[in-house]
Amino acid sequence: MTRKQPLGDLRMIPIDRIEVLNPRDRNKAVFDQIVENIKSVGLKKPITVTPRPTDDGGEKYLLVCGEGRLKAFMALGETTIAALVVDVSEEDAFIMSMVENIARRKSSPLELLAGIQQLVAKGYDKKTIAKKTGLSVEYVQGIMLLIKNGEERLMVAVESGRIPLNAALAIVGAGNSNEAVQAALQEAYESGQLRGKQLLQARRVIEKRQTFGRTLGRGTPRVAVDITASSLVRTYQKEVERQKLMVKKAGAAQQRLLFVIGALGQLLVNENFTNLLRAEGLDTLPTYLAERVWPKGA
């Protein structure tokens, strides 16, 4: 999508006067590449900022777009940066920043969805969001429904291309009943919405959704779901494996203990060794070991 930027002045401005309006996390490898490119060839595209007066009568700038370039300049120790200075309201600056991140479509699915959530929170309807972001109205409407239902797992799966939006909406419409969800999957398969790898991905997402809940945050309450035969079998198999591992570790510990007992039994019949232990004040054993080294309590 191409978006017309407001006309502005190109200036060199102090980096320490720039405030990031809509910060976001970046992949370290990608950021390192930005730094290296700027170090090699310089800044190919200026950042965009909007001016604001400060209490001391000076001027600061809100960053509209170009956070990666700005941080790269900071990492390189630069004190000024080329910027296109546009005169827009703080609301418009925030929207421009958010739309820039969404339109680039190189952000993570969660960043994209967080941007749409922020637009929804600010009161924008689906048509306005679609117009501002270049996304289709149908896509935005579907994402807004997933947001409303707290379906973070499904939203990420949709945005990352693992399952189609229509299939995700069908899963949401099925509610918490496992039978209804499976029926929705079957219907999506028969209608051609889910095929091959996408069907497998959808099943994995549903399993995680049923086990860990709809959201991705830690410590969130799990959604109550019906227990299925397959989930019981998986739980039983995991418990069996855990018990087997415990028995294996117990056997190894017992073998080591028997070795220690045998070795102590042989050493303690040596009078020179026992005299040395007495001289060092080490002539006693823990009751557990003493009862096994000297079964008759000697």
What are 121-133's pLDDT values in tens digits?
777 888 887 776 6
What's the pLDDT band for 232 if we cut at 50, 70, 90? low
Q: Which of 17-26, 186-195, 199-208, 254-263 has the highest mean pLDDT?
A: 254-263
For 162, phi and psi rounded to 5 degrees? -75, -35
At the top level of CATH, the class of 1-107 is alpha beta
- Taking 3-state DSSP, the helix, strand and coil percentages for the chain, each rounded to the nearest 5, stand at 60, 10, 30
pLDDT number for residue 8: 66
User: What average pLDDT score do residues 140-146 get?
Assistant: 82
Distance (Å, whole) CA 23 – CA 126: 24
Lowest mean pLDDT among 4-18, 90-104, 172-186, 217-231: 217-231
pLDDT number for residue 1: 39
Question: Does 229 have pLDDT greater than 70?
Answer: no
Q: What percent of the chain is predicted at pLDDT more than 90?
A: 5
Strand-pair category, 47-53 with 59-65? antiparallel
pLDDT number for residue 223: 41
The residue extents of the domains of the chain are 1-107, 108-114+125-226, 247-293
* Residues 6 or more apart in contact with residue 14 via CB below 8 angstroms: 79, 80
How far is residue 271 from each of residues 84, 107, 284, 290, measured CA to CA in Å? 91, 76, 15, 17
Q: What percent of the chain is predicted at pLDDT more than 70?
A: 79
Write the single-letter amino acid at 233: V
User: What average pLDDT score do residues 138-153 get?
Assistant: 81
3-state secondary structure of 83: strand
The tokens for 128 are 């306005």
Three-state SS for 9-61 is: EEEEEEHHHEEECCCCCCCHHHHHHHHHHHHHHCCCCCEEEEEEECCCCCEEE
Q: Where would I find the beta strands (DSSP E) of 34-156?
A: 47-53, 59-65, 80-85
What's the pLDDT band for 112 if we cut at 50, 70, 90? low
Q: Report the largest interatomic distance among the alpha carbons of the chain, rounded to a whole angstrom.
A: 98
User: HSE of 253 in the Cβ direction (CA atoms, 13 Å)?
Assistant: 6
Q: Which residues pair with 9 in a beta bridge?
A: 85
Average pLDDT over all residues of the chain: 76
pLDDT number for residue 217: 59
For 14, phi and psi rounded to 5 degrees? -65, 135
